[in-house]
Structure 1
Amino acid sequence: MTSIDIRANLKPLQRAFIGLSAKQVPFATSLALNALAKGVVAQEKDEVSDTFDTPTPFTLNAFRIEVATKSRPIARVAAKDIQAEYLEPYVVGGNRSLGTKRGMLAPREITLNQYGNLAKGKLASLKGKPGVFIGKVTTRNGKVVNGVWQRPTSAARRVGNKGGKARTGLKLLIQFEDTTPVRKRFDFFGRATAYLKANAAREFDAALKRAFATAK
């Protein structure tokens, strides 16, 4: 995912520094840029909440800051590597990321966690359960479905033979689907730009005051 470089037109700030020791200018600049970067991260976190239903803490905390310093007056906000991989299509468009998976994991008859997702490690734990297998099954209507299946227990088969409803068939726990284009858009750049326009002057003013207060 492309990052946001938070720079500044330093001319207004430099004019404001008349009478201030020159060595404080880089310090004030870095203060303002890093404060703005923190604000952008907070805005992106809100954008995650606005875009996705019940996002996980891992996704909410997707963004990192490369801080500005006195010698390098640039603060950068970007998504962390793992989150960037699956968030990028929501920013620039395209198909949902598969990562290392063979297909999208579409839960069917299986319990989900509080975020509406498969619990971490769920697929791996299912592989070791008796009666569970991964593969392709041809349904009665001739459709081939690839996924995680559970065979009925012997008791269920006996009940099914006496008239139980569909208890003798396989249960599809998780279906493997082809990736699809994202339906939502995550306004990574728009949210950041609006915040910077609204708050840059205030943050540079605060940085200026702090620089004056600490000048010797």
Structure 2
Amino acid sequence: MSVPLRIEVDADGVLARQFSELERTQLPFAAMQASNAVAFELRNTWKTTAQRVFDRPTPFTTNAILYRKATKAQPFAEVFIRDEAAKGTPPAKYLLPQVEGGSRRPKGMEALLRSSGGGGQAWLPAGMFAVPGKGADLDGYGNVASRVVRQIISQLGAGREAGYVSNESEKSRTRRKRRGGSDYFVLRRKKGNLLPGIYRRREMAAGDAARRAIGARSRIDSIFIFVRAPVYRRRFDIFGLAQRQWNKLMPFFFERELAKAVQNATLRGRR
């Protein structure tokens, strides 16, 4: 994240009381164990909060919260949002507008559409973003189905997926259309009732009753609509949540771990 997470480590003064000599020898170990326990609980809290804040978040989003345990060499635990991804945008980047507010970053498909195009123009105009249209096939998380995105990128020749459809023979292409196949096209400007965006032209099968009724040979569905940069309000306050959880849990876990460490040290001394 661009803003580091800093927590007041002794907000409730758990280290301010008087400790016995035995307790003082166990303080580093007890603090380390308590920090790990709080980090684990904080990660789980972030996960459940994300499920409540976001509409149908993907597992990649809800599981984006990671933590590193404290050790003797590094006596503090870290909780952070994953900043890497095998494909697409890392959660640390696409969640940032939800944490701090502001405009979101372009998604992978949007970046491809901005860097390629036809007629000397990019498919996606500068400053525009693509949001699902009314005719889009959505997955269980409310996103346009990945197979549709791959088909669009391929047919537009917008990236490494090119060839997904463009390599098929003309005979296969004709057969696909007869079966109710589809082609995608881009409107950079409004045309009639169609807003700027990506549309699917689906050839109706020869026996389609609706086609016979209106004499139509194809139908057009909006898959993506181009809009100006969406602006998000701050709604996932991970920093304030972290501080509140630390203040609530650290005194309990510290006292518990210190008591356990003292007890174990006492038992070892009796042997």
TM over 0.5, shorter chain: yes
Q: What corresponds to 2:186 in structure 1? A: 135
Among 147, 154, 157, the alignment partner of 2:198 is: 147
Q: CA deviation at 1:8?
A: 2.7
Please list, as runs of the form range in 1=range in 2, the aligned pairs for 1:1-216 lying within 5 A after superposition.
Answer: 1=1, 2-5=3-6, 8-9=9-10, 12-13=14-15, 17-20=19-22, 24-81=26-83, 82-102=90-110, 103-126=129-152, 127=154, 128=164, 130-136=181-187, 140-141=191-192, 145-153=196-204, 155=206, 160=211, 162-164=212-214, 168-183=218-233, 185-215=235-265, 216=268
Q: CA deviation at 1:59?
A: 1.0
3-state SS in 1 of match to 2:99: helix
The CA RMSD measured in Å over matched residues stands at: 3.1
1:43-78 CA distances to partner (integer Å, 9 max, x unpaired)? 211221221122122111111112222232222211
- Cα–Cα, structure 1 residues 178 and 34, in superposed 2: closer, same or farther, change >3 Å? same
Number of equivalences: 215
Q: CA deviation at 1:196?
A: 1.2
1:35 and 1:212 map into 2 onto residues whose CA distance is 18
By relative contact order (CA 8 Å, sep 6+), the higher-ranking structure is: 1
Q: Which runs of 5+ in 2 are unaligned?
A: 84-89, 111-128, 155-163, 166-180
Q: Which moved more, 1:147-156 or 1:89-98?
A: 147-156
3-state SS in 1 of match to 2:141: coil
- Cα–Cα, structure 1 residues 142 and 112, in superposed 2: closer, same or farther, change >3 Å? closer
Whether the 8 Å CA contact 2:35–2:70 is kept in 1: the answer is yes
- Cα–Cα, structure 1 residues 157 and 31, in superposed 2: closer, same or farther, change >3 Å? same
Whether the 8 Å CA contact 2:67–2:78 is kept in 1: the answer is yes
3-state SS in 2 of match to 1:101: helix
Q: CA deviation at 1:164?
A: 2.0
1:164 and 1:122 map into 2 onto residues whose CA distance is 27
1:4-32 CA distances to partner (integer Å, 9 max, x unpaired)? 34563397448565232765332211101
Whether the 8 Å CA contact 1:91–1:187 is kept in 2: the answer is yes
3-state SS in 1 of match to 2:67: strand
1:58 and 1:69 map into 2 onto residues whose CA distance is 28
1:140 and 1:155 map into 2 onto residues whose CA distance is 28
Task: Give, as a single letter, the amino acid of the residue that structure 2 aligns with 1:52.
Answer: F
The percent identity for this pair of structures is: 28
Instruction: Give TM-score, length-normalised by structure 2.
Output: 0.67
- Cα–Cα, structure 1 residues 3 and 45, in superposed 2: closer, same or farther, change >3 Å? farther
